[in-house]
Amino acid sequence: MSSNAKILAEDLSEQKYKYGFVTSIEEDTAPTGLSEDTIRFISAKKDEPQWLLDWRLKAFHQWQKMTEPTWAKIHYPKIDYQAASYYSAPRQKNKPKSLDDIDPQLLDTYAKLGIPLKEQEALAGVERRVAVDAVFDSVSVATTYKKELESHGIIFCPISEAVLKHPHLVKKYLGTVVPVADNFFAALNSAVFTDGSFVYIPRGVRCPMELSSYFRINAQNTGQFERTLIIAEEGTSVSYLEGCTAPKRDQYQLHAAVVELIALDDASIKYSTVQNWYPGDKDGKGGVFNFVTKRGACRGKRSKISWTQVETGSAITWKYPSCILQGDDSVGEFYSVAITNNYQQADTGTKMIHIGKNTRSTIISKGISAGHAQSTYRGLVKVLRTAKGAKNKTQCDSLLIGDTCGAHTVPSIESRQPKSRIEHEATTSKISDDQLFYCQQRGLSPEEAMALIVNGFCKEVLQELPMEFAVEAQKLVGISLEGSVG
Amino acid sequence: MLEIKNLHATVGDKEILKGIDLKVPLGQVHAIMGPNGSGKSTLSYVLSGRAGYDVTQGSVSWKGKNLLKMTPEQRAAEGVFLAMQYPVEIPGVSNMTFLKTALNAVRKAHGQSELDALQMLKLLRGKAKAIGLSEDMLKRAVNVGFSGGEKKRNEVLQMAVLEPSLCILDETDSGLDIDALKVVADGVNALRSQGRSMLIITHYQRLLDYITPDAVHVLAHGKIRKSGGAELARELEEKGYAAFEGEAA
């Protein structure tokens, strides 16, 4: 590597994390430790019905019998589950009735993060609007456009509220895509989950705006265990985005989420993530441990679930958004950009399980590693005997910046259906000095050049993001202009 | 004016340029000709500031400013443009985005406002048309899947868009058939102006059939061995570089 590329790699690895501030607000925090009492405490805080408490306790008992998975290519200090707190919420005298009642400290926090908590009038020619559910530590502090969405029959609210107001829906679907004991972290989440978003799109409705959730970890030494459930009834479509940030802290923070998506006949769910958890400092100190189970079930015929993720944060990422393609002619997609630098480690990928006839899946994964980071794509394409005519196309590209990082690809393919077609392509490349010099010679600074080249590398994935978020993602990737013309 | 004085440069441990003296007045087109390995490409990289090419002695000034103290992008902002022998591919980045980013970077360096998408589109369409490039090429990724001729024409397009004041063309004629050569030469000729100097680096005389230089210099073994008018190029074409090959410094 030339000196030029080396300087750049260092530059990139010392980029400042802009969302590392702490909101000083009084919070009610549960004592550290995890026991049945902790779970009863959380359940009581949320006024939950008995059935959910029983469900949590069952999950907890199963979790106690499970062991942490070790197959991923990630190394981290042993997590002491008794040393963390499992609930933390800003202290509020009364539950805010409208946005005006929300603690200004919180409004200020979201303003700093660039998340709009004010609703805008629908005006012709104005960009599409975005409804936001803002989750701060263990609770949702605000959800916008609820009323307008309700007029379409759409339910968009914190899951804790859905448990109380729409128990039949929650009961019917919760844990049906990711069973309680699916894996160690999913079981933990099922036991102690606090808040997250609930989306229900009734039959035949196309959601008129983007829905989004913004997860913020603020409290120290507190894990965030969010739970999201999205149900798209027959003939519906919805686009949902989640964003995540956390303050800079020296200690590791645990985040173990579960996301379940259900698409019935002819329904389409687009789920996008721009994940910017604090990645730790340049020596690998601190950062979020992100152990997430995301899974979508294409239960209906011709249904479609599309995952797009831009992963820039977390010290550790363990995440495999997957699709179970049950319905005939259903479609699963996974588009991923994972950027790791310094001592970040990402083990991420997807599972596409083909069950129905003529099911199709597409996987495009772009891994970028800099500094001492390690990035692994881990994927499974499984075609069952029933999935006649199934097709999969997988493309995994890795880009290395500098010579101290690593990229790994672990694809698994299992097919029991001879009449299926599976394609897999993988490449590994480096940003060349030729490319950097070429851009610089045309007037770009090395940073601009790097951003442009990386952006080009990720283009196929970034263009899958909803317009509203593409810009943020491009900036995150360190990008200025790609895609704004032409 | 471009003024190069006693320029010595090394690549690794090897001295490639061994004391170059050269003056190119504003508005003039000078050709540098020489055999393979004479230091032609090294000179173009030293002038544009590529890492790995170390200047050990001498000076280079452009319009009175010391180029050697500047980064490549600062030189670009000062109007230095290198049309490369092997234009580089940048997958996933459209030509249009590349040009827009580059032009706005240079405009910013000059304290000018950035052009928006619409202004840029209009400008690029006009420039592309002027050098006979299809609009389709603006949408394609930079140099990816371009033929040799398309790559060189793309360099001329970039030059036309960025409007540099010092154009260095490094072996722009290499790999071009006669038709492509004419197109490129037409593009370059259209850019000749009072406010622009050009340095055309070439092995063969044939490009100079279409672009008539104000002066020709022979570079061999890292030094300018002979200078003359346009007729020197034809002389070299007839006699070859044999006369200069033996003169190791």
Residue B173: which H helix or E strand, with range? none
pLDDT digit string, tens, across residues B63-73: 999 999 999 99
For chain A, give me the number of helices (H) and strands (E)?
11, 23
List C-alpha distances in Å: A463 to A71, A166, A460, A473, B235. Answer: 32, 35, 6, 10, 56
CA A244, CA B40: separation in Å to the nearest integer?
53
Q: Distance between CA atoms of B123 and B115, rounded to whole angstroms?
A: 10
Residue A1's pLDDT is what? 38
Q: Helices H, strands E: what count in chain B?
A: 9, 12
Confidence of residue B9 (pLDDT cuts 50, 70, 90): very high
Candidates B51, B72, B120; nearest CB to A3 = B51
Do A22 and A141 contact (CB within 8 A), yes or no? Answer: no
Query: Cα A248 to the chain's mean position, in Å?
Result: 19
CB contact under 8 A, A486 and B106: no
Closest alpha carbon within chain B to A437? B50
CB A212 within 8 A of CB A243: yes
CB pairs under 8 A between A and B: 111
Pairing outcome for strands B14-24 and B2-11 = antiparallel
Q: How far apart are CA A349 and CA A197, in angstroms?
A: 23
A123 within domain boundaries: no
| ipTM of predicted complex | 0.95
User: Could you tell me whether strands B2-11 and B53-62 are parallel, antiparallel, or unpaired per DSSP bridges?
Assistant: antiparallel
Q: Quote the number of domains for chain A.
A: 1
CA-based nearest residue to A383, from A425, A354, A403, A410: A354
pLDDT of B248 above 80? no
Let me know: does A385 contact A420? Beta carbons within 8 Å. no
pLDDT at B238: 85
Task: State yes or no: pLDDT of B236 exceeds 90.
Answer: no
pLDDT at B5 exceeding the cut of 80 = yes
Q: How far is residue A238 CA from its own chain's centroid?
A: 16
Instruction: Quote the CA–CA distance of B198 and B29 in Å, as a whole number.
Output: 5
Amino acid at A426: A
A486 within domain boundaries: no
Distance CA B212, CA B223 (A): 23
Exposed, middle or buried, A287 (CB in 10 Å: 0-12/13-18/19+)? buried
Q: Does the pLDDT at position B194 exceed 50? A: yes
Q: By the 8 A CB rule, do A251 and A287 touch?
A: no
Distance from CA of A365 to the nearest CA of B (A): 15
Cβ A371 vs Cβ A341: under 8 Å: yes
In this structure, of B31-35, B50-54, B184-188, the range with the lowest mean pLDDT score is B184-188
Confidence at residue B247, expressed as pLDDT on a 0 to 100 scale: 52
pLDDT band at B167, cuts 50/70/90? very high
What whole-number percentage of chain B has pLDDT above 70? 98
Q: Residue A62 and residue A191: Cα distance in Å, rounded?
A: 9
pLDDT block averages, 10 residues each, chain A of length 486: 44 57 78 92 94 97 95 91 87 67 78 72 57 81 86 94 96 97 96 93 94 82 89 97 74 90 98 82 83 97 96 87 98 94 90 98 93 91 98 94 87 95 92 92 90 89 81 62 24
Three-state secondary structure call for residue B67:
helix
Interface residues on A facing B, Cβ-Cβ cutoff 8 A: 2-4, 432-435, 437-446, 448, 452-453, 455-460, 480-486
Interface residues of B toward A, Cβ cutoff 8 Å, are 48-52, 71-73, 75-77, 80-82, 84, 86-94, 96-98, 100-106, 109, 117, 120-121, 138-139, 141, 158, 162
Closest by alpha carbon to B22, among B79, B72, B71, B67? B67
Q: CA nearest B96 in A: which residue?
A: A486
| CA-to-CA separations, A426 to A205, A398, A399, in angstroms, rounded | 39, 8, 11
Task: Kindly give, in sequence order, each residue whose CB lies less than 8 Å from that of residue A16, ignoring residues fewer than 6 positions away.
Answer: none
In a domain, A74, yes or no: yes
In this structure, whether the domain defined by B2-245 belongs to CATH 3.40.50.11890 is answered with no
pLDDT of residue A17: 65
Give, rounded to a whole angstrom, the gap between the first and last alpha carbons of chain B.
28
Give, in order, the Cα–Cα distances in Å from B244 to each of A147, B43, B219, B236.
Answer: 85, 18, 9, 10
Q: What range does the domain containing A408 cover?
A: 3-118+128-476
Opening angle at CA B224, ends B223 and B226, nearest 5: 140
Contacts made by residues A10-16, CB under 8 angstroms, sequence distance 24+? A11/A446, A11/A447, A12/A341, A12/A370, A12/A371, A12/A401, A12/A450, A12/A478, A13/A282, A13/A341, A13/A342, A13/A370, A13/A371, A14/A282, A15/A341, A15/A478
Q: How many CB atoms lie within 10 A of CB A417?
A: 17
**Does B31 or B206 have the greater pLDDT score?**
B31
Residue B238, Cβ density class (10 Å: 0-12 exposed, 13-18 middle, ≥19 buried): exposed
Instruction: Answer whether A486 sits within 8 Å of B121, measured CB to CB.
Output: yes
CA distance A481 to B84: 24
